[in-house]
Structure formats: structure tokens, C-alpha cells
Chain A
Amino acid sequence: MAKVNVYVTLKPALLDAQGKVVQGALENLGFDSIESVRMGKFIEIEVNGGNGTLEQDVDEMCRKLLANPNIENYRYEIVKDGE
């Protein structure tokens, strides 16, 4: 069993409207030293069996579905492997 954490974020060139709103709300709460807030997605995947292609597979999952390369960046970490 392996566990994979995938993080998907909007590319820096894009305006992150949600991040801006959250930033405004945090500033309203008095946190006045905030430079910026950007929001993204966190996806947890559990994978059965290890056939040695996990990293390739996860990369393909990200490219094909989990992230849209036109607008998003992704990164992932395999946190639990081969137990």
C-alpha cells in the first residue's frame, strides 16, 4: 500500500480570485503582514500493490486529469510505500 499526496496550484501568471478573497478576509482579522494567499487542491491517493511504476503512474494521473497543464502546476510526494 502506498499513499500519495498530490498538490495542484494555479500557475503564478493567473489571478487566483479565491486566494485574493481569503487574503482580504485574513487582513480584516488583523493579520496585516500578509504578502499573498494562493489556494490550490490537495488530493490524497491510496494505491494497492507496487509494480514499480508508481511514480510514472502518478505523473500520468496529474498530467491527464488531476491538473490542467494550461493553467496549473502540480507536485506530489509518495509518503508511504511498500509496507
Chain B
Amino acid sequence: MKFGVVIFPGSNCDQDAFCAVRDVLGQPVEYIWHQSTDVSGFDCIVLPGGFSYGDYLRTGAVARFSPVMNAVQDFADNGGRLIGICNGFQILCEAHLLPGALIDNNGLRFICKHVNLRVENNNTDFTNLCSEGQVLSIPIAHHGGNYYADADTLKKIEDNNQVILRYCDSAGKVTPEANPNGSLNNIAGIINDRGNVAGMMPHPERAVESILGSEDGTLILQSIVERLMA
């Protein structure tokens, strides 16, 4: 199986994602340039974090129209596994591949720290190696990670178990204090209704070796391998 990591102008977590897949998962991985119009041969595509197009207009708004995104859209429509991390999540929301939107943190500050995340749904392509309710320690690093969706959309994704990760305290309790950015319902990560597209603000690729402070991100990335190998 082969992973692809898209590079947009301004991506800056592409190498972290690449190394996590190659060195920790031990899977083949290639970069995909944003001008590319062909993503055939890939089993999973990663939209990495960063500041694509300088975050101009809105985060992800311009990257969404990069040439590669037509191919990525087709890839997802055909059931390919697609995960957007941080800026990648913002791009997926702008591209309507995931519901809702990400707006500025309610404190208007860039936040870079490890957070606790509760696994809300472990029966997905992205969380199947976690146990339900497990608390993961994975870092966030964003200015615009405040998840918003209108009431109908929010109800739909909650009823559908599309919320996969929520900000919580170290005991796994979902509290307002554990919410770093104002996200509705403490939402940190979601999947689409079909279950093949995921977006999350925390960076699993930055938590894949003990020297990084946590290996919990490996559970997310390895889950994809597990499902594709099955």
C-alpha cells in the first residue's frame, strides 16, 4: 500500500507526515505536488498541516482550488482514504469533503501544546487501533481550529457518530476547560458520512516516537494501515 503526502505552497508538516509514514509505519510514501493532476496508485492521501497560500482569505480557501484537489476529490469519491491534518482539515472543510468550518480560536491566539483527546468512535478507518473512550495525548498547533457547524449539521454528525475525537481532560472528561479553541462540542476530529475521509486539528505525525513526548499519534496513522491491509 502506498501513501501520498500533498505539498501545497506553504505546507510545513509535509516532511513530518512523510517521515512518520516511512520510518514509523514502515510504508511506502511519496510526495504529491499541488500542481499534479494524477493521484492514481495511492491508497491513502494525507493533506498535511501548514499555512497553504499564507492562509489568505480564509485558511484552506485557496488551496482548495489547487489543481491537485480535483484529483483528490475524485480519489475520495471513489472511496480512497483521505486524512487532513490541521491545515489539511481546514482545506477539506473548504472543499466540502467534510462538513462544517474552522474559524479563528476564540482566544485569538496561536496555540501550540499537547492536548488530551478522547476517542469517541473507534470503529473507523482512522481509529480502529484505539479503544473507545481512550485518551490520547497529541499536540495541536493552530490559530484557526475552532470547529463550527450550523445546528442541523452538528446534530447530523453527532447522531451519525462522525465525531471521532474530542478535547478532554486527562481523565477523559469533556469539559469547557479542556476546550482549547472554542470548538463546538469540543470537536477535534471528524469523518465524512461514508467514513473514508477524516479531518483533525491535532497532529498525529508529531506524536509518533517517545522522544517526541508521545507515541499516541501512531495509533491514528497505523489504524489506516490496519484497515487497508484487512
Among A14-22, A26-34, A45-53, A74-82, the one that faces the other chain is A14-22
B106 at the A/B interface (Cβ < 8 Å)?
Answer: yes
The proximity string for B residues 96-108 relative to A, scoring 1 for CB distances below 8 Å and 0 otherwise, is 0000110111111
A68 touches B108 (CB 8 A): no
Query: Is chain B's interface secondary structure helix, strand, loop, or mixed overall?
Result: loop
A70 touches B57 (CB 8 A): no
| Interface range for A | 10 to 19
How long is the Cα–Cα vector from A70 to B62 in the complex, in angstroms?
Answer: 16
B34 at the A/B interface (Cβ < 8 Å)?
Answer: no
- B101 neighbours in A (Cβ, 8 Å): 68, 70-71
A21 touches B61 (CB 8 A): no
A71 touches B103 (CB 8 A): yes
A2 at the A/B interface (Cβ < 8 Å)?
Answer: no
Residues of A within 8 A of B (CB): 10, 13-15, 17-18, 21, 41, 65-66, 68, 70-71
| Interface range for B | 10 to 19
B58 at the A/B interface (Cβ < 8 Å)?
Answer: yes
B216 at the A/B interface (Cβ < 8 Å)?
Answer: no
A70 touches B108 (CB 8 A): no
- B106 neighbours in A (Cβ, 8 Å): 15, 17
How long is the Cα–Cα vector from A70 to B149 in the complex, in angstroms?
Answer: 7
With A13-B150, A15-B182 as contacts: A68 and B61 at CB distance below 8 Å: yes
In the complex, which of the residues B100, B104, B107, B182 contacts A70, with contact meaning CB atoms closer than 8 Å? B100
- A15 neighbours in B (Cβ, 8 Å): 106, 182
How long is the Cα–Cα vector from A15 to B108 in the complex, in angstroms?
Answer: 12
A71 touches B148 (CB 8 A): yes
* Chain A to chain B: the 10 pairs with minimum beta-carbon distance, closest first: A70-B101, A71-B101, A17-B108, A17-B106, A17-B104, A68-B101, A68-B58, A71-B103, A71-B148, A15-B106
Residues of B within 8 A of A (CB): 57-58, 61-62, 65, 93-94, 100-101, 103-108, 148-150, 182
A70 touches B148 (CB 8 A): yes
B108 touches A21 (CB 8 A): yes
Closest to B94 in A: A68
CB distance from A9 to the nearest CB of B (A): 13
How long is the Cα–Cα vector from A66 to B182 in the complex, in angstroms?
Answer: 24
How long is the Cα–Cα vector from A17 to B104 in the complex, in angstroms?
Answer: 8
- A18 neighbours in B (Cβ, 8 Å): 104, 108
- B107 neighbours in A (Cβ, 8 Å): 17
How long is the Cα–Cα vector from A17 to B65 in the complex, in angstroms?
Answer: 27
Closest to A66 in B: B57
- B103 neighbours in A (Cβ, 8 Å): 10, 14, 71
With A70-B149, A71-B148 as contacts: A65 and B104 at CB distance below 8 Å: no
How long is the Cα–Cα vector from A66 to B57 in the complex, in angstroms?
Answer: 7
How long is the Cα–Cα vector from A41 to B106 in the complex, in angstroms?
Answer: 18
CB distance from B130 to the nearest CB of A (A): 29
